Amino acid sequence: MDPRVQDALLTLPGSPGALVAWQKSLVAVAHQQQVFVWDRRGRQVDVIALSGTCNGLCWDEEGDLLAASCERSARVVLWETQTRRPQPIVSGLGEGVSWLGWGPNAILALATAKGNLVLYDHRSGRRMPVLGKHSRQIVSGAWSKAGLLALAAEDKSLSVSTPDGDTLRVVALRAEPSQIKFGRVKTEDKPHGDDTVSVVVGKKTLYMLRVSEGDEPVELAFQPRYGQVAAYEWFGDGYILLGFTAGFLVAVSTHPKEIGHELFQLQPHPSGLKHMAIAADADLAATAGADGQIKLHSLTAGETKRVLNAPGATNLTWSSDGQLISASCTAGIAVFLACLPTVAAADSSRAAILTSLSEVSVTEPNFQEPLSSVRLVVEPSWVAVGPAHVAAGMNNRAWFHRLSLSAEEVATKEYLSRVSCLKLNSRVAAALCAGRVHVHTIEDVAAEAVVPEDESDGRVTAHEITNEALVYGTDVGVLAIFHLQQWRLVQRYRHSCALKIVSTEASGSRVAFLDDHHQVFIFCPLTESVIAVDASPSTEGILWDSWPGEAAFLVTFDSQQASGHVFLRDSVRGSYAEAVASPTKLPNGQRPLWLAGGEMGLHGPDGRLNRIMLEGHAAVLRLPDSLDALLSLRRYKEAWSAAVERPQLKKLAEAALYDMEFEVALRAFRRLKDAGMVRAVEAAAEAEDRFESAGMAALCLGQYDIAEHAFLQSDRPSAALEMRSSLLEWPRALELAASLAPDQVPLLAKQFAQQLEFTGEHAQALAQYERASGQVDCRAGLARCALRCGDVRRGLSLLDETASVDLLRECATILESGRHLPEAASLAERAGLYERAAELHVRLKNWPKVAQLLPRVTAPRVHAQFAKAKEAEGRYAEAVAAYVTAGDPEAAVRLLLEKLRRPEEAVKIVKETRNPEAAKQVARFLRSAGDATSALQLLVWCGCASEAFEFARQAGEMALLGRLLAAEAASDGAAPIAQLLEVARHFEAEQDAFLAGKFLHLAGESQRAVQLLLKAAAVGHKEALEVAVEAAAAAQHEPHLADQVIQFICGDLDGVPKDFSLVLRLYLTRGQLEEAAQVAVLMAEEEQKAGNYRAAHDTLLTAHQQLRARGGSPPEALRSRLALLHSYILARLHVRRGQHLMAARLLSRVAANISKFPAHAVPILTSAVIECGRAGLASTSFRLASMLMRPMHRPHLDPKYKRKIESVVRKGLRDPEAPEPTSPCPHCLQPLPEYELACSRCKNNLPFCIATGKHVVRDDFTLCPHCEFPAIASGFSELLETENVCPMCGAEVETAALSTLEDLSEYLKV
Ligand SMILES: [Zn+2]
Ligand SMILES: [Zn+2]
């Protein structure tokens, strides 16, 4: 608690309950039929004598007039401050004045004990009596600011009158009224004045009546425990504070929605409350308690702030400025200093503050003790502090003290008029007196000036001083800089309206000012530029931060809050100011005095200096790494340390770039490894022109409008054009080019036109192309857009000379989409788009043209369209041709059959195209014409499976279908399996096992096929067995099928052996060569037994050839049997040819194996005997004849030869026959008997000659060109002279076809 205000400042004589009236600096106290007037320092000013005990004491609004009345007297004394002389006046009614009060315009209301009223106009001296206002004594009254007069009387009524005394309202009350007042009800209406009368009724309730609106009155009752209403007052925005006798202090609202709602409630004096009074400007309420204490409470906070000891205190009265409060106490009238006048000043963070009514202390934040403390002879109305001095003053006087502990006075100064504000630098003082600034040196009289010199510059409203200059603003908007070295005005800027506040940055390089329109600006003397600051319209003050930070910083403030703004001189968009963080709320009644590093020094009515941090700076203190907070303050150095992550670096880089802090931006972009940006920012930083530099930086940021603005101000405005061009922003680029580079307009127009054309804005594109005429490609664009816009004639004329196929094509498409088909067709043809042209002509039904184009058209649809057209015209032949070309054989066939009746051509088309639908048509036609085979054939060919099947079924031509399918399968290599199976199923259903089996076999269903075929074969179907063999042979992987078939053929199933040649075929087909050879030999044996030597020979020959053909080697059994059978056949041939020797040799070979010819043993032997006889082989003949004589043959001898044989035997072995001639072994060349087939030397079996039966020889070797059996060439040739067929294979052989061979080895292997 501050000891300076603890005790009473003064104690004035006065009895308890004495009336006290304050103005600002004087207090009137009624005491013993006198009124004493005192000043604030307790000096008596005057004494006014009264005729009785004072019952009314009142100062007028200005504090110039004091009125005093006394009991039971009609006389009132007026006392003027100026003259200090009492002046008696009389009410004129002869009744005692019971209440008096000053209203507006020096009207004094005098109310009487009988309820009458007199209005006294002090200016004119006129009195106006108003009789019968009330019927009894008027006890209380009040004036509203608008001049309404409310009176309350003992007649329990309340009246409201106009300033002229006319009654507006009279209201009857329940009980006796007291303490009538005017107040302003809190409403949501438009602002209104204090038009509500309030009065305490019966000491308990508060009655309220809003006069102007004619509202119903409201009466507030309070809790009984509060006791009676001791005192009440209106305050703030429609609130009422009431003091109750039970010691309570209660604040209530008058807002209709919350009427009677208690804002706060205190009980500061539990032993009882005697009085209460409010000093609204000081935010204070004072209560006097039965406890002998006065307590001071904050109205807004609703809490007690101070306690003063004042025994017996009551009747509290505030001085009009709220600094002093008086109370009637036991000891007299005690005056307390409730709060100090807010007289303070600062320089940087050095503050000069009034610490008592006549003492100034100078403090600095870093020092505990005051730098200086000055005792003054007066209570100053202002103070000032500079680097070396502190000054204080009142009226037109100023005292200057040095800033030191001793604080010696160095000068006093008397100005020509009252000083309202004074500023200091280290050597000069500048005092604002009556609209002009007196500037002079402090400690000597070296220089003195009064500015402005020119009256047209208006009256100075605010000024500021720096080390170099005095800066002032005037009420006509002049902002001037007076240089203190040069001692003259150096700069003068004219603003649009009056200036109210001027604040200069310490260096003087920036001046902020508040104008009459509540707007704040920053003026830069260097560039003479003015930058608007987005400050609140309620701004009352501006402070620059005195801390030398990176960026200039200032706050604008009003009574509630302070807002920080950062000011950037250089950025891509030039200088600008930006609000930082949200506004900082100011403690109640406290006003910023200085600002340093975001910390504000605040000074309030409690006389103390408080310090708070602005929001933006507090955020940095709370979170030192918060990039956003640092960037908002433009603290790039700290921000660099805080930016760690990529997004942070990017943000930092961009913010720095925006503010043209190139070094920081470059560092950040380098760390981001953004080479492109690094290069671009380097270039921007190196640009010599500041605007160009800004433009380039803005471009980097993508802020194109800003960039353009900067470029246009730079030395190279064409950069703006380049930028817009590169952004493809053609309209803007063209605008720029029109002034900056007219020669570029055509090229830009062309580019714009191309863009417009691309986006389909053809009319505009056309206009731009026209602007661009002369540019390359423009003619094409013009042509396209003209065509797009429907100007076909112009478009086509532009195309007259073009050779560009692409352009022609494009334009043809455009024309087509615009439905200009003839022109489109013509262009398409010019562009070589014959197909397109033809199609267009088709759409135009221009058939001659179509026909002309058709040879160059391949697209089927064109031909098809043409064909349709021709068909419609009835020109069927042409239509058919076109349909064929169009790949629509169906239509072609339809016409051929229905219109032209040329089925053979239709068949031809179907055969060529294999088109199923066409095939069906033709098939129907053929069928109706009775040619089922051809019809079916076509269907099969064209793969019309189901149609073919259905047709075959209906026509009973299923077998035919089967054959056709089989043929198809054979020709294609791929069987139409499904159809074959279907056909097979059909026959199976028909119980035709053979055909079913056959088609199953063709469809590859071997097992089932074999089953069915064997079933058919079992009932004697020969072909079935053959097919079964085929099927079994084909089923390579199902050997059991072959076994089944073989078993069947061998009769294993029915005991009836079938044709073995089939078995042979099966073995051969399946590649079972050994088995095949065995079967062949067996078969030949059977044939031989039966005497069918030719058949046996042929069986063996076939087997031999097939084995050879399959790479097999015919076994010896086969070969030797073939040789034997061939010898027999050859023997008969040579017998016929009369070659008896050869026949004899061959027959004797046969005879040696006569057991193998059981059917003809005797005839053969007989022939052999005869032939040997003829050939002169007597001994052989004898030997053979002897054989015939054996009992097994003799009975069978042909009687014809019986004698002959017997004679041979009888003659005996008489003539030895000549030895058999020899020829060399073809292997080892050993001479061997000609007919010997095994070499005695090399043991080889020797091949026999098919013509002679001898063994072959090397030197005379040949082959049958057909069967490739070897022969003795000369012997074969000789044979062919008569026979001309090969005796082995029966094929015709020309002698000339016989060749001799060198290498016989192949043919000697037997
Ligand atoms: Zn040999
Ligand atoms: Zn032959």
Task: List pLDDT tens digits, range 579-629.
Answer: 998 899 998 778 899 999 899 999 877 777 889 999 889 888 888 888 888
Rounded to an integer, the average pLDDT of 682-694 is 91
Q: Could you tell me the two tokens for 272?
A: 């009882």
The alpha carbon of 841 and the centre of ligand 1 are apart by a number of angstroms equal to 93
301, 303, 309, 315 alpha-carbon torsion, rounded to 10°: 70
The alpha carbon of 1231 and the centre of ligand 1 are apart by a number of angstroms equal to 8
The alpha carbon of 548 and the centre of ligand 2 are apart by a number of angstroms equal to 129
Rounded to an integer, the average pLDDT of 691-696 is 92
pLDDT higher than 80, residue 1214 = no
Question: Facing residues of 566 across strands?
Answer: 553, 578
Ligand whose nearest atom lies closest to the CA of 1225: 1
The alpha carbon of 197 and the centre of ligand 1 are apart by a number of angstroms equal to 165
- Which has the minimum average pLDDT: 182-191, 498-507, 611-620, 911-920? 182-191
The alpha carbon of 1264 and the centre of ligand 2 are apart by a number of angstroms equal to 5
Integer Cα distance of 54 and 12 in angstroms: 17
Ligand whose nearest atom lies closest to the CA of 1223: 1
Ligand whose nearest atom lies closest to the CA of 1264: 2
Ligand whose nearest atom lies closest to the CA of 1104: 2
Integer Cα distance of 703 and 707 in angstroms: 6
Ligand whose nearest atom lies closest to the CA of 1243: 1
Q: Could you tell me the two tokens for 1126?
A: 């061939």
pLDDT of residue 530: 94
Ligand whose nearest atom lies closest to the CA of 1240: 1
SS3 120: strand
The H or E element spanning position 1255 is none
Q: Using one digit for the tens of pLDDT, what is the confidence trace for 80-91? A: 998 988 999 887
Ligand whose nearest atom lies closest to the CA of 1267: 2
Q: Using one digit for the tens of pLDDT, what is the confidence trace for 405-441? A: 888 889 999 998 999 999 999 999 999 998 999 999 9
pLDDT of residue 4: 32
Confidence band for 550, pLDDT divided at 50, 70 and 90:
low
Integer Cα distance of 110 and 718 in angstroms: 84
Residue found by looking up tokens 């972009």 in the block? 669
Q: Could you tell me the two tokens for 274?
A: 């005697």
Rounded to an integer, the average pLDDT of 945-958 is 78
Integer Cα distance of 799 and 803 in angstroms: 8
pLDDT of residue 1310: 64
Ligand whose nearest atom lies closest to the CA of 1226: 1
The alpha carbon of 1152 and the centre of ligand 1 are apart by a number of angstroms equal to 22
The alpha carbon of 1245 and the centre of ligand 1 are apart by a number of angstroms equal to 8
pLDDT of residue 475: 93
pLDDT of residue 191: 66
The alpha carbon of 1123 and the centre of ligand 2 are apart by a number of angstroms equal to 13
Question: Facing residues of 177 across strands?
Answer: 201
Integer Cα distance of 522 and 624 in angstroms: 29
Q: Residues with Cβ < 8 Å from 885, sequence gap 6 or more?
A: 854, 860, 863
Q: Integer distance in angstroms from the first to the last C-alpha of the chain?
A: 148
Ligand whose nearest atom lies closest to the CA of 1236: 1
Ligand whose nearest atom lies closest to the CA of 1251: 2
The alpha carbon of 1291 and the centre of ligand 2 are apart by a number of angstroms equal to 6
The alpha carbon of 1234 and the centre of ligand 1 are apart by a number of angstroms equal to 12
Q: Using one digit for the tens of pLDDT, what is the confidence trace for 295-332? A: 999 888 888 888 888 888 889 999 888 888 999 888 88
Strands (E), 225-311: 229-235, 239-244, 249-253, 262-266, 273-279, 284-289, 293-298, 303-309
Return residues with CB closer than 5 A to ligand 2 (ion). 1264, 1266-1267, 1286, 1288-1289
The alpha carbon of 1270 and the centre of ligand 2 are apart by a number of angstroms equal to 9
Question: Which residue would you say has higher pLDDT here, 1072 or 232?
Answer: 232
Give the other-Cβ count within 10 Å of 1281's Cβ: 9
Rounded to an integer, the average pLDDT of 371-386 is 88
The alpha carbon of 1258 and the centre of ligand 1 are apart by a number of angstroms equal to 12
Question: Which residue would you say has higher pLDDT here, 957 or 648?
Answer: 648
Ligand whose nearest atom lies closest to the CA of 1246: 1
pLDDT higher than 50, residue 6 = no
Task: Determine contact, residues 36/350, Cβ cutoff 8 Å.
Answer: no
Ligand whose nearest atom lies closest to the CA of 1097: 2
The H or E element spanning position 1118 is helix 1116-1137
SS3 384: strand
Task: Determine contact, residues 33/317, Cβ cutoff 8 Å.
Answer: no
The alpha carbon of 1271 and the centre of ligand 2 are apart by a number of angstroms equal to 9
The alpha carbon of 1260 and the centre of ligand 1 are apart by a number of angstroms equal to 16
Question: Which residue would you say has higher pLDDT here, 198 or 1113?
Answer: 198
Ligand whose nearest atom lies closest to the CA of 1291: 2
Integer Cα distance of 17 and 1001 in angstroms: 144
Confidence band for 844, pLDDT divided at 50, 70 and 90:
confident
Rounded to an integer, the average pLDDT of 1003-1023 is 79
Rounded to 5 degrees, what angle do the CA atoms 1091, 1094, 1099 make?
Answer: 105
The alpha carbon of 1247 and the centre of ligand 1 are apart by a number of angstroms equal to 12
Amino acid letter for position 1091: G
The alpha carbon of 1101 and the centre of ligand 2 are apart by a number of angstroms equal to 10
Mean pLDDT of the chain: 86
The alpha carbon of 829 and the centre of ligand 2 are apart by a number of angstroms equal to 73
Handedness of CA 57, 61, 66, 67 (dihedral sign): negative
Integer Cα distance of 520 and 350 in angstroms: 25
pLDDT higher than 70, residue 766 = yes
The alpha carbon of 1310 and the centre of ligand 1 are apart by a number of angstroms equal to 13
Task: Give 1190's DSSP letter.
Answer: S
pLDDT higher than 80, residue 665 = yes
The alpha carbon of 1127 and the centre of ligand 1 are apart by a number of angstroms equal to 21
Three-state SS annotation for 336-364: EECCCCCCEEEECCEEEEEEECCEEEEEC
The alpha carbon of 1222 and the centre of ligand 1 are apart by a number of angstroms equal to 12
The alpha carbon of 1304 and the centre of ligand 1 are apart by a number of angstroms equal to 14
The alpha carbon of 1225 and the centre of ligand 1 are apart by a number of angstroms equal to 4
- pTM (2 decimals)? 0.53
The alpha carbon of 1267 and the centre of ligand 2 are apart by a number of angstroms equal to 4
Query: Which of 382-386, 782-786, 1198-1202 has maximum average pLDDT?
Result: 382-386
Q: Could you tell me the two tokens for 1051?
A: 């009769």
Ligand whose nearest atom lies closest to the CA of 1292: 2
Helix and strand totals (H; E) in the chain = 42, 63
The alpha carbon of 1099 and the centre of ligand 2 are apart by a number of angstroms equal to 14
The alpha carbon of 1242 and the centre of ligand 1 are apart by a number of angstroms equal to 4
Rounded to an integer, the average pLDDT of 916-934 is 81
The alpha carbon of 1031 and the centre of ligand 1 are apart by a number of angstroms equal to 47
pLDDT higher than 90, residue 151 = yes
Rounded to the nearest 10 degrees, the angle between the axes of helix 993-1002 and helix 958-972 is: 20
The alpha carbon of 101 and the centre of ligand 1 are apart by a number of angstroms equal to 176
The alpha carbon of 1263 and the centre of ligand 2 are apart by a number of angstroms equal to 8
pLDDT of residue 1: 32
The alpha carbon of 1265 and the centre of ligand 2 are apart by a number of angstroms equal to 7
Ligand whose nearest atom lies closest to the CA of 1126: 2
The alpha carbon of 402 and the centre of ligand 2 are apart by a number of angstroms equal to 156
Ligand whose nearest atom lies closest to the CA of 1269: 2
pLDDT higher than 90, residue 230 = yes
The alpha carbon of 258 and the centre of ligand 1 are apart by a number of angstroms equal to 149
Q: How many CA atoms lie within 13 A of 1261 on its CB side?
A: 24
The alpha carbon of 1130 and the centre of ligand 2 are apart by a number of angstroms equal to 13
Ligand whose nearest atom lies closest to the CA of 1255: 1
The alpha carbon of 1145 and the centre of ligand 1 are apart by a number of angstroms equal to 20
Q: Using one digit for the tens of pLDDT, what is the confidence trace for 855-866? A: 888 888 888 888
The alpha carbon of 405 and the centre of ligand 1 are apart by a number of angstroms equal to 158
Confidence band for 101, pLDDT divided at 50, 70 and 90:
very high
SS3 556: strand
Integer Cα distance of 522 and 531 in angstroms: 5
Ligand whose nearest atom lies closest to the CA of 1297: 2
The H or E element spanning position 1096 is helix 1093-1109
pLDDT above 70 coverage of the chain, percent: 98
Amino acid letter for position 581: A
Confidence band for 3, pLDDT divided at 50, 70 and 90:
very low
pLDDT of residue 278: 92
The alpha carbon of 1287 and the centre of ligand 2 are apart by a number of angstroms equal to 6
Question: Which residue would you say has higher pLDDT here, 960 or 1253?
Answer: 1253
Ligand whose nearest atom lies closest to the CA of 1258: 1
Return residues with CB closer than 5 A to ligand 1 (ion). 1225, 1227-1228, 1230, 1239, 1241-1242
Residue found by looking up tokens 């560039």 in the block? 527
Ligand whose nearest atom lies closest to the CA of 1276: 2
- Which has the minimum average pLDDT: 275-289, 336-350, 437-451? 336-350
The alpha carbon of 824 and the centre of ligand 2 are apart by a number of angstroms equal to 80
Rounded to an integer, the average pLDDT of 487-507 is 92
Distances in whole angstroms, Cα of residue 1252 to Cα of each of 1131, 1235, 1248: 9, 9, 8
The alpha carbon of 1273 and the centre of ligand 2 are apart by a number of angstroms equal to 13
The alpha carbon of 1251 and the centre of ligand 2 are apart by a number of angstroms equal to 9
pLDDT higher than 90, residue 469 = yes
Rounded to an integer, the average pLDDT of 1184-1200 is 87
pLDDT of residue 5: 33
Amino acid letter for position 442: I
